[in-house]
Structures are given as structure tokens and as C-alpha cells.
Amino acid sequence: MKRALTATIATLLLTTASCSPGEPAPAAGAPETAPVETAAASVPAAPDVSKLPAGAYKLDPSHATLVFKVNHLGFSNYTAQFRKFTADMTLDPARPETATLVATVDLKSLDIPAPPAGFVDELLSDTWLGASITPQMKFESTSVTRTGPATADIVGNLTLKGVTKPVTLHATFNGGYEGHPMDPAARLGFSAHGTLKRSNFGIDIGIPAPGSTMGVFDEVTIDIETEFTGPALAPA
């Protein structure tokens, strides 16, 4: 009995000595806890651009989407998209900060889920998007600033409803290649995200009063997925 008590006391002393200062000793017989690992923030790796040619690139409309969202009554993020848009880009993959981008969006290609009769026409009217004032929404880049190995901020002027204001797109370069026998042109892809206030473009109808959610919010988020095709693949 005395030996057993002595062994127990010795075990507790050794356990306490192995703890960090100020850290309580685990209960006798308790299982060891594995150390907690902190996950590192995910940073997109730099894609290999060594074989991508510099030159003019054009949007591939069959691999592109332009979706926007706006908060409705605080209940949901109402989601819609434009089906027809074009983009032209000049790019030197070795010096992406020198890139230029011009994009146009056909406002009449607005596509919304299950619209009530006449609702699309109302949204295209001068009260909202003003398709008769500016039939095409246009974005022209003014600067490109790298923010990481595969990310950049594209600042440009957006023209909508006769008003031009600066907008920033946060872009991620997803990769590309110089061409393939079945796709004999350079191809690369981007994802982009941005926000704007519709009131800056004279579209302030239905914005909730301060302290209320009754209406359609001012901030609009934009999500873009694109692929561009460029110079033809050089013959082997």
C-alpha cells in the first residue's frame, strides 16, 4: 500500500514538472492532447507564364460570366447576370502592370430569375439602368497594381446611365497556356470581384432609409469569370 502511494505521488510530481510555467497539470490518466496547428492563409501560387505570348487578347464569350448581387430587404442577395458582353485586353504576362482592358456590357442582355411581366422593361427604363441613355455599360482600365503572385487590382472608369465613376476589380490570374493543337491560340483565365454603389450612377430608387432594410440596398457586388484567347500558337 505504501509503495503504491509513493509511486502515485512520484508520477504526479513528474507530470507537473513537465508542464509549462503557469500551465495546470493534466489529470492523472487523462489522454494527451495533440498540439493545435494554425492553418496558414491560402495564397494563390504564381502560375507559370514563361511561355505565354504578349499581345492582344479577346474575351471568349462561351467561357465567361458576369453576375451581380444586391441585398433585398435584408432577406437575400438577389442574383442576376448580363448574358452579352465583350472585352479586349493587351497583356505582357511578364509585366502585368502594363496591361490594358476595355469591356462593354449590353444592358438589354439582362437576365433575372422568374421576372414578373414587364419587370425587365422597368429595370431597363430611365428610372433604373437607363438603357436608352447608355445602351452599353463600359469599363476602361486606368491602372493595374499587383497585389500578390497571382492577384492584382484593376482600377478603371465605369460608365453607366451617362455617369462615369472609378471602380476597382480585384482579379486573380488562374493560369494559361501558349496554345494546344486542339486549341491553337494562347488562352488564359481570370476571376474578378468588385463592388459599387448604384447611387453613384444616379440609381437611387428604393434604397432603404437609414436604420431600415425596407428596400433594395445601395451596394452591388460583381463577380466575373473569364477566359481570353490571344496570339496563335507558333508552328512547331
Q: Which residues of the chain have pLDDT under 50?
A: 1-28, 30-31, 33-36, 38
Amino acid code (one letter) for 187: R
What distance in Å separates the CA atoms of residue 82 and residue 67, rounded to the nearest whole number? 7
Query: What's the grid cell of residue 171?
Result: 482579379
Query: Of 48, 11, 20, which Cα lies nearest the Cα of 178?
Result: 48
The sign of the torsion formed by the CA atoms of 149, 151, 153, 154 equals positive
What distance in Å separates the CA atoms of residue 3 and residue 15, rounded to the nearest whole number? 19
* pLDDT score at 44: 65
* pLDDT score at 47: 74
* pLDDT score at 236: 65
Query: What's the grid cell of residue 37?
Result: 496547428
- Model pLDDT for residues 72-83, shown as the tens digit of each residue: 999 999 999 999
- Model pLDDT for residues 132-166, shown as the tens digit of each residue: 999 999 999 999 999 999 999 999 999 999 999 99
Angle at 87 between CA 82 and CA 90, to 5 degrees: 160
* pLDDT score at 40: 52
Backbone angles phi and psi of 116, in degrees to 5? -65, 160
Query: What's the grid cell of residue 21?
Result: 510555467
Q: What burial class does residue 102 get, using C-beta atoms within 10 Å of its C-beta: 0-12 exposed, 13-18 middle, 19+ buried?
A: middle
* pLDDT score at 234: 77
* Cβ-defined contacts of 94-100 (< 8 Å, 24+): 94/49, 94/54, 96/144, 96/146, 96/152, 96/173, 97/144, 97/145, 97/146, 97/152, 98/144, 99/141, 99/144, 99/154, 100/141
Q: With H, G, I as helix, E, B as strand and everything else as coil, classify residue 72.
A: strand
* pLDDT score at 50: 84
Rounding to the nearest 10 degrees, give the CA dihedral for residues 108, 114, 116, 122. -20
Domains of the chain: 55-232 (2.40.128.110)
What distance in Å separates the CA atoms of residue 101 and residue 170, rounded to the nearest whole number? 14
* pLDDT score at 5: 38
User: Residue 15: which residues within 8 A CB-CB, separation 6 or more?
Assistant: 25, 26, 28
